[in-house]
DNA sequence: GTCTATATAATGATAGAC
DNA sequence: GTCTATCATTATATAGAC
């Protein structure tokens, strides 16, 4: 077989960047092609289902990232709680470029995205929240308290990203990360 | 002049519903036409600047809604604090249909929307947050504390709407409204 | 596996009759 | 002010050469 011009990971990063910024409807094949360095026909060769398949692959890729940078870190019982917490917060900060980047789940949460990928979105968010529930219970919280705090954590991150983007300042996001650290330490 | 087939308010409601659900890129003239009951050419007659003008008019209309249901209520010194608070929370609950509806500002906050309407979005959100800052100071908080709580309020509403939409449950939004009531009473 | 070229449908937008 | 008909452009998607 002929070798891939662009490796999967690099291609997925390109697809992800465009879809995160433009949403599903706004992400055109033209832009996806430019961002990945592959011509439209080549993308169709790799994704026989077209743009739907690309978005689905992006969400699967993202779930892998959540798994690596959140779930695995928070449930790594070989490391102390404070170390896990610091690592996960720094990971989240990187994920959103300090508050400059939108959340992929939010970009794909308009009607078209929800109806096409609702299950995948829910699954990714569940993984995220469940990671924090496990961590909270591991820290001695009741299931109820851990669930409440995990939801609050997710809500604050999403909300602060909306606010940061809207007012053009990363301050709300940075403040929220501080509050989350305090919540769990 | 020939009378309008559809009144401004009704037309704006139709435009708003589609743009809120689909975002700017996803809102096609076809859908906007169907939702308003006006043919495409009629919409262009009313909005010479095309779709951009429609979105801009929707944002202006929305700012009016925020002004009426949030700013004016929270700063109405002729009524007691608890009454203002109850009224504004019930208004917010209605605005988002109890957590079922997305926030317009979020739908238009993808790249295309931000670059076209960033200033209008920021202005609407500022009005929202400043209303809560005024209310908090009116309740005796320092400016710093009132600002922090107003930001937190906005963040929680936005975040809970994202979460509610994603997991298909209005519970997070309802919980957040309760927490906000408690924060100010 | 990637490409150029092309097919086909949908989009935002206008022209001109009523 | 609203409409039907149409334009030019862009969109998603495919065919077939290399």
pLDDT in tens, A156-178: 999 999 999 999 999 999 999 99
pLDDT tens-digit readout, A110-123: 999 999 999 999 99
pLDDT tens-digit readout, B23-73: 999 999 999 999 999 999 999 999 999 999 999 999 999 999 999 999 999
pLDDT mean over B85-112: 98
Q: Is A166 helix (H, G, I), strand (E, B) or coil?
A: helix
pLDDT mean over B156-177: 97
Can you give the pLDDT at residue B127? 98
Can you give the pLDDT at residue B101? 97
Q: Are B18 and B32 in contact (CB under 8 A)?
A: yes
- Take residue B38 and report the two structure tokens written for it: 């006006």
Question: Which of A119, A159, A164, A165 would you mutate first to test chain B, the one with the most B CBs within 10 A?
Answer: A159
Distance CA(B31)–CA(B68), nearest Å, equals 28
For chain B, domains (ranges, CATH) are 58-184 (1.10.357.10)
**Residue A156 to chain B, least CA–CA distance (Å):** 6
Which parts of the protein come within 7 Å of strand D, by CB position? Answer: A 27-30, 40-41, 44-45, 48, 50-52; B 1-6, 38-42, 45-46
Q: Please name which of A122, A107, A124 lies closest in space to residue A25, comparing C-alpha atoms.
A: A107
Can you give the pLDDT at residue A44? 98
Find the angle CA(B66)-CA(B120)-CA(A155) to the nearest 5 degrees: 65
pLDDT mean over A35-52: 98
CA of A112 to C1' of C12 (A): 20
State whether the beta carbon of A42 lies below 7 angstroms from any atom of strand C: yes
Can you give the pLDDT at residue A2? 87
Contacts across the A-B interface (CB distance below 8 Å): 115
CA of A55 to C1' of C1 (A): 21
A143-167 helix and A171-184 helix, angle to the nearest 10 degrees: 170
Statement: residue A34 has pLDDT above 90: yes
Structure pTM?
0.97
Can you give the pLDDT at residue B7? 97
Can you give the pLDDT at residue B168? 93
* Pick from B114, B126, B159: CB nearest A158: B159
What mean pLDDT value characterizes chain A?
97
Can you give the pLDDT at residue A1? 73
Can you give the pLDDT at residue B1? 74
What mean pLDDT value characterizes chain B?
97
Q: Are A154 and A130 in contact (CB under 8 A)?
A: no
Q: pLDDT band at B2, cuts 50/70/90?
A: confident
Statement: residue B13 has pLDDT above 80: yes
Q: pLDDT band at A24, cuts 50/70/90?
A: very high
Distance CA(B24)–CA(A24), nearest Å, equals 11
Q: pLDDT band at A40, cuts 50/70/90?
A: very high
**Residue B16 to chain A, least CA–CA distance (Å):** 14
Nucleotide nearest to B43 (CA to C1'): D2
Q: pLDDT band at B111, cuts 50/70/90?
A: very high
Q: Are A140 and B145 in contact (CB under 8 A)?
A: no
CA of A42 to C1' of C2 (A): 6
């Amino acid at each position: 077989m002929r070798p891939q011009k662009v490796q999967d990971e690099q291609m997925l990063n390109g697809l992800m960047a465009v879809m995160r910024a433009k949403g599903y409807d706004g992400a055109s094949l033209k832009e996806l092609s430019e961002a990945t360095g592959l011509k439209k026909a080549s993308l169709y060769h790799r994704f026989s289902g077209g743009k739907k398949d690309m978005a689905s692959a992006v969400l699967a890729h993202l779930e892998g990232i959540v798994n690596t940078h959140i779930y695995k870190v928070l449930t790594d019982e070989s490391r102390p709680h404070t170390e896990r917490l610091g690592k996960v917060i720094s990971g989240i900060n990187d994920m959103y470029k300090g508050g400059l980047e939108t959340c992929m789940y939010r970009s794909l949460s308009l009607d078209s995205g929800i109806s096409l990928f609702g299950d995948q979105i829910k699954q990714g968010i569940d993984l995220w929240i469940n990671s924090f529930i496990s961590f909270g219970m591991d820290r001695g919280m009741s299931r109820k308290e851990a669930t409440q705090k995990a939801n609050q954590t997710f809500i604050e991150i999403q909300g602060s990203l909306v606010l940061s983007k809207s007012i053009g300042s990363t301050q709300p996001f940075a403040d929220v990360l501080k509050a989350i650290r305090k919540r769990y330490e």
